[in-house]
Amino acid sequence: MTKGSIPPYVVRLVLEAARAAGAAQEELDRLPGVGVLDQEGIRVPTRMLTRVWEVSADAFAQAGGAPRVAQLWTPGRFHVWDYVIKSAADLTEAFQLAAEHLPAITDPDSAFDVTRDAAGQLTVATRPVPSFGRVGALIAEFVLGLLLKQACTALGRPVSPVAVTVAGEPPRLQEHLIEAFGTRNIHFHAPVSSITFSATDATEPLPGSDPALAVIVNDHAAHSIRSARIIMGWLDKVHSEIGEELAGGAPSLDRVAHRLTMSPRTFQRRLHEEGTSWREEVEKVREAEATRLLRDTGLNIDTIAARVGFSDVRALRRAFHRWHGRGPADFRRQLSPR
């Protein structure tokens, strides 16, 4: 299971939605790697998905927001992951299993926290993914819309969530979100994006529940993650080399270019052709690695600053405020499972 990679299902869905929303076709045609998306049994760079969102963000906003993308989902589009949900005993078990097998449809850095409160209400919260960058909030809105549609399909009836929280900024007009989620109880500037279902919805038996099938599809979901063939892009090689550089301090453009067997000038030109820059890619790798270390290790902030190539902890704190509007200590607390 390779971090920084996803199966092609979601990319195909978002591309279809982007075309329907009126995103510039010439921009979509220029996206690297779209020619392999019809292959099965593969994983592609996560960056491919974020680039589609970046190119299409304005079109989605005008067409009714990211949750509208989820409306194109139909049962089976995400292959075995859909059947993991459908065959579970109830919605609580369905989303617990969906969280366990989440890498079957997205980046392994993605995660759900599935919890029940004292009243029995079920909340599914999405943890932030650094590699999603500035379109992370849009992707989170899409995921919440997808979870709601999955719930409606699994229960075989309309479902109205108790509440929705969104980690991003509130849009100027919110009616499209109210219509998409079926509730006015939507809150913004939240630590994580989440959707909450009633206790009744959480525990009602699913009409498609099948314990024997559930065992089969859960085994198949785990196998599909392990056996997928990775198709990585040039920028992913750049990220790998930058990651190697971080161990020795601040990354060097000249050294990375040399390891990629090209001159610094050619390397910079290639980055420009990809629509990015050396500085931007170093920032992405630093953010992703710093967040991984905050989430998955107990290293102190000073050590993490050194591990991601910052001169001191103050530089790391400034970077986190730039990236997320808060310091690394607060960010670590909010990444902790609730």
DSSP 147-197: HHHHHHHHHTS----SEEE-SSPPPS--HHHHHHHT-S-EE-S-SSEEEEE
User: Residue 45: in which H helix or E strand, if any?
Assistant: strand 42-45
Spatial neighbors of 287 by CB under 8 A, at least 6 apart, are 130, 319, 323
Helix (H, G, I), strand (E, B) or coil at 220: helix
**Residue-level pLDDT at 338:** 44
Query: Are the CB atoms for 222 and 97 separated by under 8 Å?
Result: no
Q: pTM of the entire structure? A: 0.71
Task: Kindly report, residue by residue over 76-132, the tens digit of the pLDDT.
Answer: 999 899 999 999 999 999 999 999 998 888 888 788 899 999 999 999 998 766 666
Taking the C-alpha atoms of residue 73 and residue 78, their distance in angstroms, rounded to an integer, is 8
Task: Kindly report, residue by residue over 196-241, the tens digit of the pLDDT.
Answer: 999 999 999 999 999 998 899 888 888 877 777 766 677 878 888 8
Joined tokens for residue 191: 């630590």
Spatial neighbors of 5 by CB under 8 A, at least 6 apart, are 43, 44, 45, 46, 107, 108, 230, 232
Does the structure show a pLDDT above 80 at 134? no
Query: Are the CB atoms for 125 and 192 separated by under 8 Å?
Result: yes
